[in-house]
Amino acid sequence: MPDDADKQHKPKDKTVTIIVNGTQHVVEDKKVSFGELANLAYDGNPPTGENILITIKFSKGNSPQEGSLEPGHSVNVKDGMVFSVSATDKS
């Protein structure tokens, strides 16, 4: 049975500050998904439609340090990580 001393040594949940399209956002998870980033970039209302293509690039990450995020995937985040989210019309 854990005692109070054990509770003091457990890591506490911490928030992470990331930058999405130049705006700071605080997230509570160590991972963010493609969909979460699209929502952050477009204030919860990302563009939709059959010709809309959203691309997400990141830098200042852990491993990998930079790259692209594909729909349906997530990436581990760290403080100061930078995301560039853009939507284009394929028509």
Strands (E), 1-91: 16-20, 23-27, 31-33, 52-59, 67-69, 74-76, 82-89
Instruction: Please return the burial class of 87, using the count of CB atoms within 10 Å of its CB with bins 0-12, 13-18 and 19+.
Output: middle
pLDDT tens track for 37-70: 999 999 999 999 999 999 999 999 988 899 999 9
For the record, the structure tokens of 50 come out as 């059959």
Give the C-alpha separation, 43 to 36, whole Å.
Answer: 10
pTM for the model: 0.82
**Residue pair 34/70 in contact by the 8 Å Cβ criterion:** yes
